[in-house]
Amino acid sequence: MSIPRLSWRAGCALFAALLAAGCGSSLEGAAPATTTVPPADTVVPSTTTTTTAPPPVIAADGTNYAACADGTCEISLSQPVNITLNGGTLAVTSVNPDGIDIDLSLDNGGGGNGTLKGTCGAIFRFHSGGGGDGRFCNPDGSVLPPPEPEPGVVALQLVGLSDGAAVLRVVSG
């Protein structure tokens, strides 16, 4: 019986494999591993911060847009809608995460269009003679109180925004 001869590459590979298998390390007599723990006075305690979102604003009239026909309502809007008012029509053309786009047409020819934005109760007043004015926030940043009814004026107040819906207060005199 003859023993096959290995090429020098096969021999080197075999030698390397045997060498690697025989070369291990032993922990016998080695020092045990240690873990260093900093003194208790240097440990920084973890803190948890929680933020609570304000509760969503609930519209007094919900999505009952017909409640606006008498001149005063507080409605929830999540999509474009036309609303009949006492003396005109309010078209909400877009509901956005930060406000609503509106177009107001009064029966006497007045009205206007624009965007109601803000979380402190933006109020826009449209006069029967045309034109309008707006008030965005109290100087201290607090929410504006509801507008008072005035003859010939339609006031729109953005009360709040949450979960893809806007709450709009409409007051007309």
Number of other CB atoms surrounding residue 147 within 10 Å: 22
pLDDT at 23 (0 to 100) = 40
**CB contact at 8 A, 152 and 128:** yes
Average pLDDT over residues 96-102: 91
CA distances from 123 to 10, 47, 161 (A): 89, 41, 15
pLDDT tens for 24-75 read 434 444 455 555 555 556 555 666 666 666 667 789 999 999 999 998 999 9
pLDDT at 150 (0 to 100) = 82
The dihedral formed by the CA atoms of 51, 53, 55 and 61, expressed in degrees to the nearest 10:
180
What helix, strand, coil percent values describe the chain, rounded to 5? 15, 35, 50
Confidence of residue 16 (pLDDT cuts 50, 70, 90): very low
Per-residue pLDDT at 14 exceeds 60: no
Task: Give the residue, 144 or 19, on which the prediction is more confident.
Answer: 144
pLDDT at 71 (0 to 100) = 86
- Where are the chain's structural domains? 70-172
